[in-house]
Amino acid sequence: ADYGNHDMSGGIDQFWLDGGLRISPAQQINFLQRLRDNKLPFLQRSMDIVKKVMVMTDSSDAVLRGKTGWGGQDGQDIGWFVGYVERGGQVYYFANCVQIASSELEKVERAIQFDQSRKGIALAILKDLQIFE
C-alpha cells in the first residue's frame, strides 16, 4: 500500500505504534488521497468500510472523516489526527502530528491535554480557515 517507510518490524499488532514504521504528514495525506480515490491495493468493499468508519461528522454541508493515533518512540509520545473534509464539491486533507517528551505525560492532566490536542488543533485550524465548523 506504499505506507510510510514500509518497516513492519515490531510485530503485526505493534509496528505502527512503537515498531519500525515511520511516516510523515505528507505521506499520511498521500495515503488518504489514495483511499478517498479508491486507488489503494485493497478490495473496494474494504476501502468503503474504512471510509464509513472514519466519518466523525456528516452534516448537510460537509463530511468530516478522521482517525487519531498515539504511539511512542525514543522517549517521545507522538499523537496524530489525520483525515479530510468534503464540502461543496471540494476536498480538504489534513494531518496533524504533535509530539511531547513521554516524561511530560506522567501527570494525568498533561496526558488528557495531549490526547485532546491531536484533534483540537486540527479542528481549530479547519474552523479558522472556514472549512469546517
Residue 25 CA to residue 29 CA, distance in Å, equals 6
- Confidence at residue 94, expressed as pLDDT on a 0 to 100 scale: 99
- What tens digit of pLDDT does each residue of 83-104 get? 999 999 999 999 999 999 999 9
CATH homologous superfamily, domain 25-128 = DD-peptidase/beta-lactamase superfamily (3.40.710.10)
Taking alpha carbons only, the member of 72, 68, 51, 54 closest to residue 120 is 68
- The answer to whether the pTM exceeds 0.85 is yes
Contact assessment for residue 108 and residue 97, using Cβ atoms and an 8 Å cutoff: no
- What tens digit of pLDDT does each residue of 24-34 get? 999 999 999 99
51-57 mean pLDDT: 99
Residue type, position 124, single letter: A
Radius of gyration of the chain measured on its C-alpha atoms: 16
- Confidence at residue 17, expressed as pLDDT on a 0 to 100 scale: 59
**Domain definitions of the chain by residue range:** 25-128
Residue 124: how many other CB atoms lie within 10 Å: 11
